[in-house]
Amino acid sequence: MAIPKHIAIIMDGNGRWAKAQGKKRTEGHKEGVKNVRSIAIYANSLGVKCLTLYAFSTENWKRPIEEVDYLMSLPKVFFHAYLKELMEKNIKVTMIGDINRIPDEARKIFLDAIAKTSKNTGMILNFALNYGSRDEIVKACMAFAKDYKAGLVDTLTEESFNDYLMTAGLPDIDLLIRTSGEERISNFLLYQLAYSELIFRPEAWPDFNKQSLDACLEEFEHRSRRFGGL
Ligand code: V0D
């Protein structure tokens, strides 16, 4: 089986999952957190090098205040429950996104998990938090302009532009998965997804299980075989 080096997932459909079960949206998010653990552990066991998870977009701030507050409590819930296991499995936590606009407590929790796992050499579990791709590209352009003006660089290439993005140093994304039936990229990793396979799955994120990931990997293998055979 051809295992993608870098998989990115848009974890959509927690609210819809909850509604379908007659539960509150927050219960969908709670279930979504458990699934982050399960899919991360499974991806690591398969030999995936990097898993990027889109947990919160800049647009999510427009949700009702109670829901945003609940979302902000999830890093604590997640790392309190699973940081020990992530350490045991040698998983390294990183993040991309505008960390400055994240509430203090959530930021502290993430920075602590990032610091504690920084020496781990297994899979990179990369959280996209308060991330927007256009924002990232504009910031990269500004950073380049600064370096150019300072005389540190005199040219820009597709390759060197990568170094200005928040994903600098991570392998190229081989596979993007979006759950819950929507077939859009929604301002996620626009530059990085140029050559990625895109797979849209019908199930809501809490229902996306190991079998779902297996099905995606099988589809990925079919597509890369076809591509390789040309
Ligand atoms: C669980 C997606 C937002 C499904 C939605 C890892 C997975 C809900 C955040 C978040 C999670 C919290 C603080 C912050 C930025 C983003 C989040 C986790 C899980 C824990 F500053 N959603 N979300 N964090 N899920």
Q: Identify the CA nearest to 91 among candidates 50, 129, 62.
A: 50
pLDDT band at 180 (very low <50, low <70, confident <90, very high): very high
Distance 151 CA to ligand 1 centre (A): 40
Q: Which atom of ligand 1 is nearest to the CA of 35?
A: 7
Top mutation candidate among 31, 56, 99 for ligand 1, by most atoms within 8 Å of CB: 56
d(CA 4, CA 8): 10
Task: Tell the CATH topology of 1-10+41-131+200-221.
Answer: Undecaprenyl pyrophosphate synthetase (3.40.1180)
Q: How confident is the model at residue 58, as a pLDDT?
A: 66
- Residue 36 Cβ inside 6 Å of ligand 1? The answer reads yes
Q: What separation in Å is there between the alpha carbon of 137 and the centre of ligand 1?
A: 23
Can you tell me which atom of ligand 1 is nearest the CA of 33?
Answer: 1
Domain range summary for the chain, segments of one domain joined by +: 1-10+41-131+200-221, 134-170
CA end-to-end span of the chain? 19
Q: Which residue has the higher pLDDT, 211 or 1?
A: 211
- Most informative mutation of 29, 60, 107, 108 for ligand 1 (most atoms within 8 A of CB): 29
- Catalytic positions are 12, 60
Task: Give residue 225's pLDDT.
Answer: 83
Q: Is the CB of 39 under 6 A from ligand 1?
A: no
pLDDT at 50 over 60: yes
Whether residue 217 contacts residue 1, with contact meaning beta carbons closer than 8 Å, is answered with yes
Atom 11 of ligand 1, residue of closest alpha carbon: 55
Q: How far is the CA of 146 from the centre of ligand 1 (A)?
A: 33
| Cβ contact 12:204 at 8 Å | yes
In angstroms, the CA 75 to CA 77 distance is 5
Q: Is 106 in the pocket of ligand 1 (CB under 6 A)?
A: yes
> Is the CB of residue 28 below 6 angstroms from any atom belonging to ligand 1?
no
For residue 1, is pLDDT > 90? no
pLDDT averaged over every residue in the chain = 95
Closest CA to 165 of 205, 135, 125, 203: 135
Q: Evaluate whether 204 touches 17 at the Cβ level (below 8 Å).
A: yes
pLDDT value of residue 61: 82
Backbone angles phi, psi at 154, to 5 degrees: -125, 5
